[in-house]
């Protein structure tokens, strides 16, 4: 009996243990599922690649059917060697190449044989210390100086056999020895990169209408020897078959005019209250229709407007008055658009896709279809200390990692999470944003050595075996940089604030790290010297004086918010002068005067401009944060006016690119090329001179002046971010609308009518991403200009950097949408029913407050509204993504109207107010001398009270700005601005 009981108990205990283990395994599996998700998949039929494959071939010629090896040679180059096409290409002996070629009958697509290339994934010996791969292996097909000018496309079939590989990539290159030599000086023309489907035949077509091909000497296909992970083969194969030349109707690739037969519009759609315009050229119609896709109903029929600007003449379709949510199609004559949305929050889906992209770019984690757990042997060295630094996000077409990108992404995500939480309208999106933000925070905190030294960043193009101490390791050297420490401090401080309610332990740890990193950064600032570099666009952000000050201010304010410690506030305020003193506040003496732009330093020796990756948002974000944090500071008006002048500058220069409104790059001088390296001097000089002449040797470039680093999403998105931040500070709807136009440019409202976000919209083209493959939500560096020209250039070829996938445009996209996505949240108190009437369309939105509390809460499309209730009728402007508190109770409501007159240096400010009771109004001014800045008025219901201030313009060549503040309530402030040379227009 005892034995039977014992047996029963043993069986029972065993069952319980198994049950516990099963439950534990289930719990772990559920936890893992939260983080290991399948990345999104794009709809291939919406892609440019699908369209290319289905083009009608007008003529063709077989170049090689792979039935013999007579003109083929394999090659291997070490360390990324580039062959100069201007030299005679030496025939490479196959025996000297790590790659081998042979004819194969094992896999064929045409005929009896295919060409098989076999290559190792790396060369013998350790990899380069640069972090790049061992070199390239490939095949070249040689031609006897052939003229291919009558054809414009190459076609070939490729079968990759890369066992265990997630991503398969090949590069093509043409060599030309004619009038124009290829490869080109900057190595981008005549090259393209391909992502292939492993273990199947891929039909590849490449349009080469932009490529010099009058004397073709070789065509090359090569693979980057980037190593392999433990689950990937160390020897790989590619089968090639049926190489042909073709002629097709070519894609539009250059110029401001819209692709004939297309409409340029935002493929994602338009927010309900947004400006809604589309652009075209040479459409044979005088009217357009907006058609409801679901019902087929024509909801709007309207004349097409003809618009001219610096960049040409265009046909513009304006349907801003349509605010009914739905899916729509534009039709003009026989030209129609694809469906797009009008909705309260059309950009939400792009946020989900951006999050998908960041997830796919995670380093150190298993990402299905992208890579396994990676880079466990990637380290950073600091003296005799060493740490593993995988984590965060890979940042580009390669696998590079660093604080600048990971820090920026993380800060933007926490900013968005904070806003989503405060509005409470997207809980699922909030949770997902917070998850991705915490992934970045983990990397930021773990890559510090605790003494000011951290991993600032290191280059990687390699797949590694995760074993430390062998041939494929990557090791970075830690550095002590004020900029990176301020970036880390800002990330950690905002994280401490955002996660405080949900994870107090993490919040305290992040705050502790933030304070330490801030101290290290402040200590290091004394060693920073201004940069003299000019041609590359200030890549070293430590050395641009107000960039460092801007980052320091943001970190300091976040820490002040988290701790209340005055030293952080003092440092932020102290550094503000670096920004304001770097600004051009006076009207220039050029033929076309400008004001409001920034120089690199307070010495004002060089106008600030960027290429490829900009940081132009920094000064505005910093000054806006100062205005919000310290509304009663003596310098508040100086900060405010600086933001005003800069945003007005951006609005002014955007007129040159109407009707797109894409933001021009910068003003350059005609002698800047003197400081450029010799090989690039002439190109720099010509690019500047091809800009818009402003006088006195100054030129406005619509695209940046650049060399090999090309693509302007990294410059227009920071500008857009500055505009959006300024818009919310100033209550300026035009600034917000212009900022939205930058988003629209990227997702279809461009001359090519192509969305450039992979997997979003229509006709999205391949992006240069050889290390990670195609990822939904990815953005390239951006549209470029050709050679020295100053017009959009978007060829079919897919190469670095302009078509290279980088995390920084997506980071900017997410951060920018924090200020632009969704309707306005308006809440407050009212005595009874309230109506909001939109000024342009007349749409009325009624709101009924809670009967018990008088509280109301409503989401309104952006716009200018007349508000009617029990109190005086008033006007308010609501911005996209904004949050507003209104007191519309009879005893508290105020209606304000501000105007100004300027005459002979004197300014008269007039305020008309309606409301109830006694109210005090103060005036804050910049570049005005005003007597009696504070005045009171006793308002009676139904009557209008009036106040007047007189002042003189301090400096006649500088704009003035005034802000009226009622009852010391900054949320009700009204701005007006002007200049001695302008007529004042109230907003």
Three-class HEC string of 369-409: CCECCCCCCEEEEECCEEEECCCCECCCCCCCEEHHHHHHH
pLDDT of residue 984: 61
Closest residue by Cα to residue 152 from 85, 255, 52, 239: 52
pLDDT of residue 81: 41
Beta carbons within 8 Å of 579's beta carbon, 6+ residues apart: 546, 549, 550, 553, 598, 619, 622, 623, 642
| Domain-located, residue 785 | no
pLDDT of residue 30: 37
Query: At 649, which helix (H) or strand (E)?
Result: helix 636-653
Query: Which tokens is 591 given?
Result: 């033929």
What span, in angstroms and rounded, lies between the C-alpha atoms of 47 and 43? 7
pLDDT of residue 32: 39
Looking at the structure, do residues 869 and 904 belong to the same domain, yes or no? no
Looking at the structure, do residues 121 and 198 belong to the same domain, yes or no? yes
Residue 94, pLDDT > 60, answer no
What span, in angstroms and rounded, lies between the C-alpha atoms of 541 and 569? 23
CB 484 within 8 Å of CB 556: no
User: What are the pLDDT digits (tens) for 365-405?
Assistant: 999 999 999 999 999 999 999 999 999 999 999 999 999 99
Looking at the structure, do residues 88 and 153 belong to the same domain, yes or no? yes
User: What are the pLDDT digits (tens) for 563-577?
Assistant: 999 999 999 999 999
pLDDT of residue 529: 73
Looking at the structure, do residues 160 and 282 belong to the same domain, yes or no? no
What is the CB neighbour count within 10 angstroms for residue 166? 18
pLDDT of residue 187: 67
Give the burial string for 472-501 (b: 16+ CB within 10 Å, else e): bbbebebbbbbbbbbbbbbbbbbbbbbbee
pLDDT of residue 731: 97
- Which residue is listed with tokens 């003496």? 589
What span, in angstroms and rounded, lies between the C-alpha atoms of 519 and 489? 9
Looking at the structure, do residues 156 and 175 belong to the same domain, yes or no? yes
Per-position DSSP letters for 288-305, written without gaps between them: EEEEETTT--EEEEEEPE
pLDDT of residue 93: 41
Provide, for the chain, the percentages of residues in helix, strand and coil under a 3-state DSSP scheme, each rounded to the nearest 5. Answer: 30, 30, 45
Could you give the number of structural domains in the chain?
A: 4
For 590, phi then psi, to 5°, come to: -75, 170
Average pLDDT, the chain: 92
Looking at the structure, do residues 239 and 223 belong to the same domain, yes or no? yes
Looking at the structure, do residues 226 and 243 belong to the same domain, yes or no? yes
Work out the percent of the chain whose per-residue pLDDT is above 90.
86
E strands in 607-661: none
| Domain-located, residue 296 | yes
CB 730 within 8 Å of CB 975: yes
| Domain-located, residue 622 | no
Q: Average the pLDDT over 779-801 and give the result.
A: 96
Closest residue by Cα to residue 628 from 643, 615, 612: 643
Which stretches within 175-299 are classed as H helix?
Answer: none
> Which of 18-22, 162-166, 447-451 comes out lowest in average pLDDT?
18-22
The set of long-range contacts for 202-205, using a CB threshold of 8 Å and a minimum separation of 24, is 202/157, 202/158, 202/159, 202/160, 203/53, 203/155, 203/157, 204/155, 204/156, 204/157, 204/158, 205/52, 205/53, 205/55, 205/153, 205/154, 205/155, 205/246
pLDDT band at residue 932 using 50, 70 and 90 as cut-offs:
confident
Closest residue by Cα to residue 664 from 738, 566, 571: 738
User: What are the pLDDT digits (tens) for 477-525?
Assistant: 999 999 999 999 999 999 999 999 999 999 999 999 999 999 999 999 9
Question: Which segment, 23-27, 888-892, 975-979, is predicted with the most confidence on average?
Answer: 975-979
| Domain-located, residue 608 | no
pLDDT band at residue 680 using 50, 70 and 90 as cut-offs:
confident
Residue 538, pLDDT > 70, answer no
Rg (CA), the chain: 30
User: What are the pLDDT digits (tens) for 320-354?
Assistant: 999 999 999 999 999 999 999 999 999 999 999 99
Residue 11, pLDDT > 80, answer no
pLDDT band at residue 543 using 50, 70 and 90 as cut-offs:
low
CA distances to 168, 678, 704, 714 from 709, rounded to whole Å, are 25, 17, 10, 11
- Directed axis angle between helix 733-746 and helix 807-820, to 10°? 140
Residue 2, pLDDT > 70, answer no
pLDDT of residue 3: 42
| Domain-located, residue 41 | no
Query: At 514, which helix (H) or strand (E)?
Result: helix 504-524
What is the CB neighbour count within 10 angstroms for residue 287? 12
What span, in angstroms and rounded, lies between the C-alpha atoms of 609 and 668? 8
Query: Which tokens is 955 given?
Result: 């400096």
**Bridge partner residues of 810 (DSSP):** none
Query: Which tokens is 1 given?
Result: 């009996």
Residue 15, pLDDT > 60, answer no
Backbone φ/ψ region at 242: left (φ over 0), alpha (ψ -120 to 50), beta: left
DSSP 768: B
What is the CB neighbour count within 10 angstroms for residue 589? 9
The SS3 of residue 443 is: helix
What span, in angstroms and rounded, lies between the C-alpha atoms of 206 and 769? 17
Q: Average the pLDDT over 244-254 and give the result.
A: 98
pLDDT of residue 35: 52
919: CATH? 2.60.40.10
Closest residue by Cα to residue 262 from 327, 333, 207, 205: 333
Q: Average the pLDDT over 853-862 and give the result.
A: 97
At residue 841's C-alpha, the angle toward residues 840 and 846, to 5°, is: 110
User: What are the pLDDT digits (tens) for 755-769?
Assistant: 999 999 999 999 999
Looking at the structure, do residues 79 and 207 belong to the same domain, yes or no? yes
Q: Average the pLDDT over 220-230 and give the result.
A: 96
| Domain-located, residue 832 | yes
Query: At 950, which helix (H) or strand (E)?
Result: strand 944-953
Looking at the structure, do residues 832 and 957 belong to the same domain, yes or no? no
pLDDT of residue 536: 46
Work out the percent of the chain whose per-residue pLDDT is above 70.
92
Looking at the structure, do residues 96 and 191 belong to the same domain, yes or no? yes
- Which residue is listed with tokens 């007159």? 901
What span, in angstroms and rounded, lies between the C-alpha atoms of 753 and 733? 26
Strands 474-477 and 378-382: parallel
837: CATH? 2.60.40.1120
Query: What sign does the CA torsion over 281, 287, 293, 299 have?
Result: positive
Residue 89, pLDDT > 80, answer no
DSSP 91: P
pLDDT of residue 986: 56
What span, in angstroms and rounded, lies between the C-alpha atoms of 783 and 281? 20
User: What are the pLDDT digits (tens) for 252-310?
Assistant: 999 999 999 999 999 999 999 999 999 999 999 999 999 999 999 999 999 999 999 99
pLDDT band at residue 633 using 50, 70 and 90 as cut-offs:
very high
User: What are the pLDDT digits (tens) for 940-953?
Assistant: 988 999 999 999 99
CB 365 within 8 Å of CB 394: no
User: What are the pLDDT digits (tens) for 461-483?
Assistant: 999 999 999 999 999 999 999 99
What span, in angstroms and rounded, lies between the C-alpha atoms of 163 and 303? 59
Q: Is residue 758 exposed (0-12), middle (13-18) or buried (19+ Cβ within 10 Å)?
A: buried
Beta carbons within 8 Å of 584's beta carbon, 6+ residues apart: 594, 595, 596, 597, 598, 599, 604, 607
Looking at the structure, do residues 66 and 200 belong to the same domain, yes or no? yes
- The residue ranking higher by pLDDT, 606 or 625, is 625
Query: Which tokens is 802 given?
Result: 């302009």
What span, in angstroms and rounded, lies between the C-alpha atoms of 646 and 723? 8
Half-sphere exposure of 464 (CA within 13 A, CB side): 28
Residue 962, pLDDT > 70, answer yes
Q: Looking at 861, 887, 913, which one is the last position of a domain? A: 887
Looking at the structure, do residues 205 and 278 belong to the same domain, yes or no? no
| Domain-located, residue 115 | yes
Q: Looking at 324, 343, 362, which one is the last position of a domain? A: 343
pTM for the complete prediction?
Answer: 0.94
pLDDT of residue 914: 93
What span, in angstroms and rounded, lies between the C-alpha atoms of 641 and 729? 11
Q: Average the pLDDT over 233-240 and give the result.
A: 97
Residue 92, pLDDT > 90, answer no
**Bridge partner residues of 947 (DSSP):** 911
pLDDT of residue 546: 83
For 618, phi then psi, to 5°, come to: -55, -55
What span, in angstroms and rounded, lies between the C-alpha atoms of 966 and 973? 7
Beta carbons within 8 Å of 904's beta carbon, 6+ residues apart: none
Full residue range of the structural domain in which residue 877 is found: 824-887
pLDDT of residue 186: 67
Q: Looking at 850, 869, 887, which one is the last position of a domain? A: 887
Q: Average the pLDDT over 410-437 and give the result.
A: 97
Beta carbons within 8 Å of 20's beta carbon, 6+ residues apart: none
60: CATH? 2.60.120.430
| Domain-located, residue 941 | yes
Query: Which tokens is 315 given?
Result: 């046909």
Residue 27, pLDDT > 90, answer no
């Amino acid at each position: 009996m005892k034995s039977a009981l014992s047996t029963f108990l043993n069986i029972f205990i065993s069952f319980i243990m198994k049950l516990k283990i099963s439950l534990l395994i289930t719990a772990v599996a559920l936890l893992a599922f939260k983080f290991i998700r399948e990345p999104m998949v794009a709809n291939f039929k919406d892609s440019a690649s699908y369209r290319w494959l289905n083009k009608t071939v007008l003529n063709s010629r077989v170049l090689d059917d792979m039935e013999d090896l007579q003109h083929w040679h394999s090659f291997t180059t070490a360390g990324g060697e580039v062959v100069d096409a201007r030299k005679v290409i030496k025939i490479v002996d196959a025996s000297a190449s790590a790659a081998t070629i042979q004819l194969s009958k094992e896999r064929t697509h045409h005929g009896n044989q295919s060409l098989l290339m076999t290559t190792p994934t790396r060369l013998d010996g350790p990899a380069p210390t640069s972090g790049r791969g061992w070199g390239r292996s490939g095949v070249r097909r040689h031609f006897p100086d052939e003229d291919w000018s009558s054809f414009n496309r190459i076609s070939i079939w490729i079968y990759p056999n890369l066992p265990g590989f997630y991503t398969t990539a090949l590069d093509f290159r043409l060599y030309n020895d004619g009038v124009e030599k290829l490869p080109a000086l900057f190595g981008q023309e005549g090259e393209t990169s391909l992502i292939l489907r492993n273990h199947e035949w891929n039909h590849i077509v490449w349009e080469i209408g932009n490529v010099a091909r009058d004397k073709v000497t070789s065509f090359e296909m090569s693979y980057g020897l980037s190593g392999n992970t433990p689950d990937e083969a160390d020897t790989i194969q590619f089968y090639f078959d049926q190489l042909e030349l073709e002629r097709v109707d070519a894609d539009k690739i250059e110029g401001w005019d819209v692709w004939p037969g297309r409409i340029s519009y935002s493929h994602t759609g338009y927010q309900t209250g947004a400006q809604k315009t589309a652009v075209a050229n040479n459409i044979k119609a005088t009217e357009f229709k907006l058609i409801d896709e679901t019902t087929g109903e024509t909801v709007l029929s309207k004349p097409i407007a003809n618009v001219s600007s610096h960049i040409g003449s265009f046909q513009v379709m304006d349907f801003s008055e349509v605010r009914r949510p739905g899916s729509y199609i534009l039709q003009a004559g026989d030209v129609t658009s694809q469906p797009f949305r009008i909705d309260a929050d059309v950009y939400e889906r792009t946020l989900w896709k951006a999050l998908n992209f960041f997830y796919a770019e995670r380093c150190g984690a298993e990402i299905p279809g992208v890579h396994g757990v990676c880079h466990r042997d990637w380290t950073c060295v600091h003296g005799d200390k060493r740490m593993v630094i995988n984590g965060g996000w890979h940042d580009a077409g390669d696998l590079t990692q660093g604080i600048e990108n990971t820090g920026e992404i993380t800060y933007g995500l926490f900013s968005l999470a904070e806003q989503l939480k405060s509005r409470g309208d997207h809980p699922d999106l909030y949770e997902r944003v917070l998850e991705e933000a915490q992934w970045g925070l983990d990397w930021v905190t773990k890559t510090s050595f605790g003494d000011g030294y951290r991993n600032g960043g290191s280059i990687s193009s390699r797949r590694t075996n995760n074993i430390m101490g062998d041939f494929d390791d990557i090791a970075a050297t830690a550095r002590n940089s004020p900029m990176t420490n301020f970036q880390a401090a800002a990330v950690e401080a905002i994280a401490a604030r955002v996660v405080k309610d949900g994870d107090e332990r993490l919040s305290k740890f992040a705050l502790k790290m933030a304070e330490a990193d801030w101290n290290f950064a402040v200590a290091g600032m004394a060693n920073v010297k201004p940069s003299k570099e000019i041609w590359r666009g200030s890549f070293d952000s430590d050395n641009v004086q107000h960039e460092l000050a801007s980052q320091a201010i943001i970190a300091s304010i976040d820490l002040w918010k988290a701790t209340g410690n005055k030293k952080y506030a003092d440092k932020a305020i102290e550094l503000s002068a670096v920004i304001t003193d770097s600004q051009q506040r006076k009207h220039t003496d050029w033929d076309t005067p400008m004001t409001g732009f920034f120089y690199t330093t307070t010495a004002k020796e060089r106008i600030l401009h960027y290429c490829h990756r900009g940081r132009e948002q920094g000064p505005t974000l910093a000054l806006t944060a100062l205005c919000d944090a310290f509304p009663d500071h003596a310098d508040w008006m100086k900060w405010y006016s600086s933001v005003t002048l800069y945003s007005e500058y951006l609005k002014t220069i955007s007129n040159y690119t109407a009707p797109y409104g894409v933001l021009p790059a910068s003003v350059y001088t005609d002698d800047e090329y003197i400081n450029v390296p010799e090989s690039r001097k002439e190109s720099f000089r010509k690019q500047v001179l091809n800009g818009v002449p402003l006088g006195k040797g100054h030129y406005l470039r619509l695209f940046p002046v650049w060399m090999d680093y090309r693509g302007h999403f990294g410059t227009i998105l920071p500008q857009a971010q500055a505009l959006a931040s300024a818009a919310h500070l100033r209550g300026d709807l035009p600034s917000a609308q212009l900022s939205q136009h930058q988003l629209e440019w990227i997702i279809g409202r461009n001359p090519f009518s192509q969305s450039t976000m992979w997997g979003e919209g229509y006709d999205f083209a391949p992006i240069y991403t050889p290390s990670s493959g195609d990822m939904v939500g990815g953005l390239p560096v951006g549209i470029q200009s050709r050679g020295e020209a100053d017009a959009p250039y978007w060829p079919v070829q897919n190469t670095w950097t302009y078509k290279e996938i980088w995390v920084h445009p997506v980071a900017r996209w997410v951060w920018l949408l924090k200020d632009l996505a969704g309707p306005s949240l308006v809440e407050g108190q009212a005595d009874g029913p309230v109506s909001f009437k939109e000024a342009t369309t007349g749409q009325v939105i009624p709101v009924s407050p809670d009967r018990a509390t008088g509280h109301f809460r409503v989401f309104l499309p952006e716009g200018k509204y007349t508000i009617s209730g029990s109190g005086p009728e008033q006007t308010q402007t609501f911005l996209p993504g904004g949050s507003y508190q209104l007191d519309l109770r009879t005893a508290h409501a105020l209606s304000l109207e501000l105007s100004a007159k300027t005459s002979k240096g004197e300014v008269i400010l007039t305020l008309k107010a309606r409301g109830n009771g006694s109210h005090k109004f103060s005036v804050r001014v910049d570049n005005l001398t005003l007597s009696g800045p504070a005045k009171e008025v006793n308002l009676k219901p139904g009557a209008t009270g009036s106040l007047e201030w007189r002042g003189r313009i301090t400096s006649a060549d500088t704009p003035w700005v005034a802000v009226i503040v009622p009852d010391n309530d900054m949320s009700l402030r009204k701005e007006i601005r002007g200049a001695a040379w302008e007529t004042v227009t109230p907003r």
